[in-house]
Amino acid sequence: MKNTPKKAIIIGASSGIGKALARELIQNNYRVGVTGRRKEQLVALQKEHPKEIYIKAFDCKQEDALDHIEALTDSLGGVDLFIISAGVGHINPNFDFNLEDQTNQLNVIAFTLLVNWSMHYFRTKGHGHLVTISSVASLRGGRHGPAYGASKAYQSNYIEGMAQKAIQSKLPIYTTDVRPGFVKTAMAKGPKMFWVSSKEKAAKQIYRSIQKKKRIVYITRRWILIGWILKRIPWFIYKHM
Ligand SMILES: NC(=O)c1ccc[n+]([C@@H]2O[C@H](COP(=O)([O-])OP(=O)(O)OC[C@H]3O[C@@H](n4cnc5c(N)ncnc54)[C@H](OP(=O)(O)O)[C@@H]3O)[C@@H](O)[C@H]2O)c1
């Protein structure tokens, strides 16, 4: 007999890593609430798994975002695992403020609202696991899309603060900061991409790190090496890159 399914919400699962993770969680006996703005993509995913998938279409930047999340949580009957995959990034060679602002509104402002909601929810419930998808780009500033790297640095730093809070609460609340390199999705952009992973492989590795309650994980695993090098490239070289 199958165990009672666990319950997860993935913010930003209408495509890409979030969608692949939804499929991975379902294979591992989860009931999954998925969100995104493109309702038709969510409906198509629900058609694949009508019993396991619950959908809610909304924009995380809108004022009513938390109403939608609460409604989704109620329809799932609670949530044990809250994953924030929604994110945006622009290559911005002309340094257009509007593009920088779009990135910050979602990756910083809306992100903070979502983290805040989930941590309060888990504290009230007494347990839970928050997973955020930042990036290897969080490790250094980058001229191609300055707001993207900076917003991802904010996410990684913010989730470290949440990890401290979780530990000091003495409750079984966990956080995982997922730092992908390149994953083959609509979002993967960059002048020179390498070590590009499939969404499915990324989702499997992310799921394993969730099971192990890892605090930080690089996807795929070998990106830890790039992270290590990136942090150590001296400025006199980095400034020309
Ligand atoms: N792919 C990579 O190489 C890579 C590398 C490092 C980090 N990441 C990070 O991984 C995460 C997932 O990206 P991805 O590669 O899977 O790209 P993706 O396929 O473009 O997925 C982005 C998801 O975010 C949702 N989203 C975007 N804006 C939203 C908004 N305002 N409100 C609600 N949902 C919104 C999208 O749904 P709708 O468009 O339907 O709203 C979509 O489901 C992002 O945080 C990204 O920064 C990706």
Give yes or no for residue 20 CB within 6 A of ligand 1: no
Q: How far is the CA of 178 from the centre of ligand 1 (A)?
A: 13
Cα angle for residues 66, 165, 155 (degrees, 5° grid): 60
Q: What is the gyration radius of the CA atoms in the chain, in angstroms? A: 17
Give yes or no for residue 88 CB within 6 A of ligand 1: yes
Give yes or no for residue 132 CB within 6 A of ligand 1: no
Residue 66 main-chain phi, psi, to 5 deg: -70, -30
- Among all chains, which residue has been given the structure tokens 């070289």? 237
Give yes or no for residue 85 CB within 6 A of ligand 1: yes
For residue 3, the model assigns a pLDDT of 78
Q: How far is the CA of 107 from the centre of ligand 1 (A)?
A: 10
Model confidence, pTM = 0.98
Tens-place pLDDT, residues 154-198: 999 999 999 999 999 999 999 999 999 999 999 887 668 999 999
Q: Which mean pLDDT values do the consecutive 10-residue runs of the chain (241 residues) have? A: 86 98 98 98 98 98 98 98 98 96 98 98 98 98 96 98 97 98 89 91 98 98 97 97 92
For residue 7, the model assigns a pLDDT of 98
Give yes or no for residue 138 CB within 6 A of ligand 1: no
Which domains does the chain show, CATH number per domain? 6-238 (3.40.50.720)
Residue among 9, 10, 17 whose CB has most ligand 1 atoms within 8 A, to mutate? 17
For residue 153, the model assigns a pLDDT of 98
Q: Are 191 and 144 in contact (CB under 8 A)?
A: yes
Give yes or no for residue 149 CB within 6 A of ligand 1: no
- Closest among 61, 14, 10 to 36, alpha carbons compared: 14
Q: Are 23 and 47 in contact (CB under 8 A)?
A: no
Helix, coil or strand: residue 153: helix
Give yes or no for residue 60 CB within 6 A of ligand 1: yes
Residue whose CA lies nearest to ligand 1 atom number 41: 37
For residue 190, the model assigns a pLDDT of 65
